[in-house]
Amino acid sequence: MKFGILVNEGPFTHQASDSAYQFAKAAIEKGHEVLRVFFYYDGVNNANKLSEPQSDDRNLVKLWGELGKEHNIDLVVCIAAALRRGIKQDVLADGFRISGLGQLIEVGIAADRTVVFGD
């Protein structure tokens, strides 16, 4: 099956990004395809390459980037939400791209299931 995923919250503050990551990984392991992960609201903060968690904690920005690259997942950060929150090209981590909200609706149409993770 084809999945779309919406991530509503930034890394660390809420578990939403962790749960979405674990879900995406499990879906791929089950042989499904994750077409796109769309980062909206504070979710845009998952793409901040300056994020530097403690050495004994997970690094969600890196984990998303690697998962995206390895499994050809389109990682899209909403431009409107990102501008407000100061996530711009200068700080955009590898593997992410910035685009419009239409990309969320598009994956909703293209995917068999769209799953939302938030607070």
Partner 1 sequence: MLNLVNKSPFERLAMESCLRVAPKGSAIVFLEDGVYAVTKGTAAAAKIQAAAEGSAIYVLGPDLDARGVDRERVMDGVTEIDYGGFVDLVVEHGTPQSWL
Partner 2 sequence: MSEEVVFDTEGVRKNFMFLNRKAPYGTIYALEILEMILISAAFEQNTTVAFMDDGVYQIKKGQNTKALGMKNFSPMYGVVEMEKEDAEEDEDVEMVWRIVVEQESMEARGLSPEDLVLDVEVLPAAEFGALMAQQDVILGG
Q: Which residues bind partner 1 (CB under 8 A)?
A: 1, 3, 8, 15-16, 19, 22-23, 25-27, 29-30, 32, 113-119
How many angstroms from the chain centroid is the CA of residue 21? Answer: 8
Q: Candidates 2, 25, 49, 62: give the one binding a second copy (CB under 8 A).
A: 49
Residues 6+ apart with CB under 8 A from 27: 3, 34
| DSSP tag of 55 | T
Is the Cβ–Cβ distance between 9 and 113 less than 8 Å? Answer: no
* Residue 36 binds which of a second copy, partner 1, partner 2, none (CB < 5-8 A, kind-dependent): partner 2
Q: Which residues ranging from 52 to 81 are in contact with a second copy (CB under 8 A)?
A: 52-54, 57, 61
